[in-house]
Structures are given as structure tokens and as C-alpha cells.
Chains A and B, each alone.
Chain A
Amino acid sequence: MPHPEAPPLLEISDLHLTMASFDGVAHVLNGVDLTVRRGEVWGLVGESGCGKSLTGLSISRLVPTPPARYPAGEIRFNGTDLMRLRPREMQALRGRRIGMIFQDPTTNLNPTARIGDQLVDVALAAAAHDPTVLGPAPGGARRAARALAAEMMQRVGIDDAAARLRSYPHEFSGGMRQRVLIAMALIGRPDLLIADEPTTALDVSVQAQILALLKRLVAEHGIGVILITHNLAVVAQTCSHVAVMYAGNVVEAAPVAELIGAPAHPYTRALLAAIPTRETRRGELRGLAGSVPDLIHPPPGCRFAPRCARATSVCQTLPPLRPLTPGHLVACYHPITEPAGA
């Protein structure tokens, strides 16, 4: 369970990111704030182009610069500002203290190498930075790494792990491959796991298993997780907290039950109203009129204002992300406080 008094594992503050292209400079992250503590599973949700994936990639410093540029902002991880690290130092952190899982489990495994060898390589690379990953290795590092690989495979729910180490990726189903990638991401015992749409390519039954696995691993390892997804239902099923992004800003952040039970930002409300639930009657679904703003010439102030029924002249300045109630942050001058459905 989250410990609110513990120092944050990750603290992103006022992160700005611009992308240069033929059409001009797009302001794709416009002051993102996000705080993650150990044991928390944060869902980072939003529609395409809202900047959720770029936020995740920025934490691992995997956004190529140029065309990207970071005009302002801090990403504090265990107290160090990642924006100030040299590439070498970041390289040591990435994959070890910060694990990543991506959407497509096929392209992230080498099809010509055995699963076991790929896991062993990752384990050895991690051990090069931190020998305690392998522990005492009486039979040599390679043997210890192999044992660790088998153990990780077991942990992510792959039966007969020792034998399956000899398999090739193509012998595994999509769900199994995603499990291998999770094992790979966790082998260096990271403090933070970033999962970018890890189940989007999978069937619902497999998705449910993978999400349950993620939840279990968080409890076991006490790590922090950022689950990037477009699917609020997945967040509701898995996460402890949610941050909703719109056009480069976090517009609302709260514990899951709070956000879904009492969404305060008009955009969050619109997003929830667009998802059919078992109570939604035919024709009752509410779409969201208008379209996502052009990030090269974004509207001044609140970027949701042009589509917002509650917008007034104050919305011409950017609303800060501030607490509505303790733990429930909203970036809106006119948050909705009456309960949902009213």
C-alpha cells in the first residue's frame, strides 16, 4: 500500500518538451507534473497525441534530441535530476533502476536468440553495474544469471521455466512474450517500471492475466509503476492512482476510486461519459465535440478550454495543477464538484 509520508520515487515537475518538424515547433509537453511513490501503480491515460508516451520515454531519456528539446522541467528519480545526467550515467540507470515494457512484445525480442540467452545477457549487464543482482555466484556469473533467469520466468508465471529458457521467441504466444519482457524488465530489480500499453495487442483474457501479474509484482517487489494506456477501464482494473493527460498537460491526478467516482476536470468527465458501461443505454453515450488542439499553435491558457462548456475568460491563462482535496489534484479553474451522473 502507498506510504504518503515516504519520499517520492519519481517526481516530474513542470516538464516541457518541444518537437521540431516541417510545420513548426510543436509544444507537446506543456508543464507535466507527476509524483510516483513506491508501491503505487499510476495509470497515465489520455487520447492519442496527449503526450503520455513521450512522458514515459522522457523518464528513460529515450526521446531523441533533436528533433526534441526540453526547454524546462525536472525529472527527479530517487532524488537525482535525470535531466542533468550524462548519457553514460543514464545508460546505467536505464534498464536497471528503471525498467520499460512496450506495446508490441514481438519486436522487442531478438527472434534469432533463445529466450534464456536474452534474459542472461540482461542479467549479466545488470550485474556489471550491481553485483548483488546475481548474489554470491559459486558456479560462475553465467550460471548464476541462468538461475536468476529461470527464477524470473517462474515469477512471471511461466511454467517449466528451466526448460523454456531454451525456446525461441516464436515458440511463445503474444501473452507469453509479454511475460518474458516483464521478466526482462524486472531482472535488474528496478525501482520504477514504465509499461507503455503493455496489453493493447493482447486478447482480453490474456490482458487480465498480465495486469494481475503486474499488480502482484508491485506488491512483491515494492516498486513504483507507470502504466501508460488509452484505456480507462484497464486503469480502473489495475492502478492505484490515475493521471489524466490532455494535449501535453496532466489535467487531473487522484487515487483511482476518487477519480472515477468524483471526476472533477471537465475533460475527465467527458472521457468517462464516452465509455460504455453496463448501465449505458443505446444512444446515451456522449461523444466529445471538437478536436484535439494543434500543438504548434495551441490555444492560450487551458488547452481544453475551446471544447469546454465551463470555460470562461480566466481559462485564457494556464490553470495550475493544485489539490482540490488532499491527494486529488486538478488543473481547472472551474472543477466539477457535484457527484458524477448528477
Chain B
Amino acid sequence: MPEPILEIRDVSKTYPARAGLFGRGVAVAALRRVSLSVARGESFGLVGESGSGKTTLTRAILRLETPSAGQILYRGEDLAKLSARALRAWRAKVQIVFQDPYASLNPRMTVEAIVTEPMVIHRRAMPLSSTQRRDRAAELLALVGLAPQHLRRHPHEFSGGQRQRIGIARALASGPDLLLLDEPTSALDVSVQAQVLNLLIDLQDRLGLTYFFISHDLSVVRYLCDRVALIRHGVVEEVGQTQQIFDAPATEYARMLIAAAPEVRPFTG
């Protein structure tokens, strides 16, 4: 296997007990000793139901939250040891596409402002003039299947699928190696979902991206991912090659998830 781009070692996250109206609450363990390794260039799927800890793990990888214990390494470097400035520079390399394309774009900004913002923030690493930024934004839009005329529009003028493409263009703007895809198609209609999934595959092939794909939809994960981890109650239940987990699930949880997932199969007879 190629070198890991992202390593999660024994990461735990506990939210402290909050004092409620009637006595104290209970401390919540959102993640319990989670260890995962994502190889360069692969598509890694993280599957779990609500409350499984997949959101907490995503936030921990993005360093929007600090794990209670354990390490997260990017290309062998412990993120906890980065200085504030180094951390900001690192953010250019790991980007995220969110689930809800209606909430993830600032409604007051134009598409141009949204897509160029990463370049402005990381101008130290990407010294571009404003004209160059605009050109690159137009290129990014073309890459995700939109037109340069769209630059001057606001998010509310676009359909859900188009907004998600804008979200992908923004995520690509800082030139990342690793993309976290947080249920990027679950808010979209199936025909649009298919377009976006194909776009993601096409982008990965062209740009050599690594995907960390978070989802509860097994059919989408099976379509896109090389390897999958199943997470429940903050614990990784099973990790392995996608094909293998779907054909021969080792744990009860995996069997249950696969059995419960609705599927369209042509009926015989």
C-alpha cells in the first residue's frame, strides 16, 4: 500500500458532563480509540448512522475540534504540534465539501468571492494577482462543469446540484491533496447525485486527490470507495476493502447495515 496521507491513532473525544437543570449530565464519549489510516490517492469511506461519531471525527481531522486523546497525523506530521501559522497553512491541503449545499455557501457573497476566498486566505502560498485569481476561479468552475458567467451570481440563483459544484470548486481552490466529503450528495436528487459522483471520480482521476468520504448511504459508498470503515457509537467496528466487506461482512453490525439498506435490484420473473 502507498504511504498513508492521513493517520488517525487511538483518537478519543469525550464531551464533559454538562450540568443540567436537574443535577449533572453524563459525559459523552463521541469517539473511543479510533484508529484509521488513509492511503494517498485512495477513496476511503466512513459509514455510520446518526450519533456514530462520524461528524466528530470529521471535525477532529479538520482540527476544528481537538481530540481528548490520540494523534492525527498528516503525512507523518502530528497536527497537534503545528503552530497556529503552520496549521493555517496546512488547511490549504485538507479541504471539505459539506452535505447541505444550501447552507454551506455564504448567501451574501458572489460565486467569485466564494471560489477566490481560499486563494486570498492562502495568498502567502499562492501569490496571485486579483486577475489571476479570477482566471483560476473561472478555470475551477469549468472543471466542475459550470461556466465563467456564473462568477458574478449569488448562491441562491443556483440549483442544489450546481451549488454543490460551487462547493467543490471552493474546496479545490487552495490546491488540496485530501478532500473530506461529508455526505456531499445526500441532499441531492438521484439524477443530480449521479452527476456529482461522476464529477468526483473524474476530479480524482485528473488531480490525484485522496477522498475521505463520509456517508450513511451504503450504495454510494460501494460505488465510490476503495476501502470502508464502519463506525458505531464512536467505535470502529470494521475496516476493509469495500468489496470484501459487502461480500463477506465480518461483524454483526456490518451484516445488519447491509441487510437494512434498501436496494434497487431488477426482479427476476
Contact = CB atoms under 8 A, between A and B. Distances in A.
Contacts of A203: 49-50, 216
Interface string A257-286: 100110000000011111111101011011
Contacts of A208: 259-260, 262
A231 B262 contact: yes
Contacts of A47: 189-192
B228 to A, nearest CB: 14
A232, A270, A272, A275: residue with the most chain B Cβ atoms closer than 10 Å: A275
A271 B190 contact: yes
Nearest to A174: B50
Interface string A212-252: 00000000000000000011111011000000000000000
A207 interface: yes
Interface in B212-269: 216, 218-220, 222-224, 246, 256-257, 259-269
Contact of B201 (A275, A282, A341): A282
Contacts of B192: 47, 287-288
A148 B49 CA distance: 34
A291 B159 contact: yes
B246 A274 contact: no
Contact of B222 (A207, A233, A273, A278): A278
B193 interface: yes
A276 B219 contact: yes
Contact of A233 (B49, B191, B219): B219
Contact of A204 (B222, B224, B260, B265): B260
Contacts of B194: 273-276, 285-288
A23 to B, nearest CB: 13
B216 A278 contact: no
Contacts of B73: none
B266 A276 contact: no
Interface class of chain B by DSSP: helix
A287 B201 CA distance: 13
B191 A236 contact: no
A291 B190 CA distance: 13
Interface in B137-160: 159-160
B132 interface: no
B106 interface: no
B5 interface: no
Given A276-B223, A278-B222, A283-B198, A205 B265 contact: no
B191 A271 contact: yes
B129 interface: no
A340 B266 contact: yes
B264 A232 contact: yes
B156 to A, nearest CB: 14
A110 interface: no
Interface in B112-154: none
B198 A48 contact: no
Contacts of A276: 194, 197, 219-220, 222-223
B195 interface: yes
Interface string B76-119: 00000000000000000000000000000000000000000000
Contacts of A260: 264-267
Contact of B190 (A204, A275, A341): A275
Contacts, number: 106
Given A230-B190, A287-B192, A236 B264 contact: yes
A287 B262 CA distance: 20
A288 B191 CA distance: 5
A231, A233, A291: residue with the most chain B Cβ atoms closer than 10 Å: A233
Contact of B261 (A204, A270, A274): A204
A207 B260 CA distance: 8
Nearest to B247: A278
Contacts of B260: 204-205, 207-208
Nearest to B49: A203
Interface string A280-303: 101101111001000000000000
Nearest to B253: A205
A231, A232, A280, A287: residue with the most chain B Cβ atoms closer than 10 Å: A287
A280 to B, nearest CB: 6
A226 to B, nearest CB: 18
A257 B192 CA distance: 25
A256, A277, A282: residue with the most chain B Cβ atoms closer than 10 Å: A282
Contacts of B222: 276, 278
B262 A205 contact: no
A341 B268 CA distance: 13
Nearest to B224: A282
A276 B160 CA distance: 20
A267 to B, nearest CB: 9
Contact of B191 (A205, A270, A283): A270
Interface of B: 49-50, 159-160, 189-195, 197-198, 201-202, 216, 218-220, 222-224, 246, 256-257, 259-269
5 smallest A-B Cβ distances: which pairs? A287-B195, A288-B191, A233-B262, A276-B223, A274-B194
8 contacts: A204-B257, A204-B260, A274-B190, A278-B263, A286-B194, A287-B195, A287-B198, A288-B191
Given A260-B265, A271-B190, 5 more contacts: A205-B257, A232-B190, A274-B190, A287-B195, A340-B266
